[in-house]
């Protein structure tokens, strides 16, 4: 078996003289074409010609959609927003990371004008957020943490220790007892990544 290579629907794969059309393909004008987007697979079976088929990879088709709860990691912050990488949709890990942005006005449901990004998130925090729109080319997804269940779920203190939430806006380092501000999530059991 050769390594799988991605292909799109309608792509010309090879001449019908070189191979036999398998599942996910069709033959037209002496060529084998892909009938769906997926990965090209060539298998040499007992026949003289290899069988060419296209397999759909269901997991790679999973995309964050509007309303989905996603788990993401904060990459960078500034005064207006936090940039994140989306790692999970629900409890399903993504094969490739998607970029997202949590804008200052989408961090909390109340007192939006008083929210400060650096008091809500820090780089490398793990955050539960909800997809609110597909955004633009620079930031693929716009995310919100403006619900009690959403916000920071895992944060490390400056000492490198996982902090414990002590209120909805603070976490504490169990080693140094320093408190840091965060937009803390009240995590629902089904979203806990074990």
Per CATH, 5-55 and 68-186 having the same topology is answered yes
pLDDT of residue 135: 67
pLDDT along the chain (194 residues), means of 10: 68 91 90 85 80 71 80 96 92 81 94 91 96 74 94 93 92 94 78 48
Q: Is 5-55 a CATH 1.10.3720.10 domain?
A: no
pLDDT of residue 62: 66
Tell me which residue has tokens 């693929």.
140
pLDDT of residue 194: 39
pLDDT of residue 1: 44
pLDDT of residue 9: 77
How far apart are the C-alpha atoms of 46 and 84, rounded to whole Å?
Answer: 50
Domain-wise residue ranges, the chain: 5-55, 68-186
pLDDT of residue 98: 85
For domain 68-186, give the CATH superfamily: Nucleic acid-binding proteins (2.40.50.140)
* Total count of residues recorded for the chain: 194
pLDDT of residue 84: 96
Rounded to 5 degrees, what angle do the CA atoms 116, 166, 119 make?
10
User: In b/e form, how buried is each residue of 131-151, taking b as 16+ CB within 10 angstroms?
Assistant: bbeebeeebbbbbbbbeeebb
């Amino acid at each position: 078996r050769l390594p799988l290579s991605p292909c799109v629907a309608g792509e010309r794969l090879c001449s019908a003289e070189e191979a036999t059309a398998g599942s996910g393909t069709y033959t037209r004008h002496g060529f084998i074409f892909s009938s769906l987007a997926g990965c090209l697979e060539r298998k040499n079976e007992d026949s003289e010609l290899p069988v060419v088929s296209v397999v759909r990879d269901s997991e790679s088709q999973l995309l964050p959609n509007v309303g989905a709860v996603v788990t993401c990691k904060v990459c960078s912050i500034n005064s207006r927003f936090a940039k994140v990488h989306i790692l999970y949709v629900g409890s399903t890990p993504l094969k490739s990371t998607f970029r997202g942005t949590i804008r200052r006005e989408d961090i909390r449901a109340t007192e939006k004008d008083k929210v400060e990004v650096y008091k809500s998130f820090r780089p490398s925090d793990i955050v539960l957020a909800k997809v609110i729109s597909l955004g633009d080319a620079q930031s693929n997804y716009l995310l919100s943490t403006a619900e009690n269940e959403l916000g920071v779920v895992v944060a490390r203190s400056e000492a490198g220790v996982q902090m414990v939430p002590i209120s909805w806006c603070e976490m504490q380092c169990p080693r140094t007892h320093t408190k840091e501000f965060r937009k803390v999530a009240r995590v629902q059991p089904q979203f806990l990544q074990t």
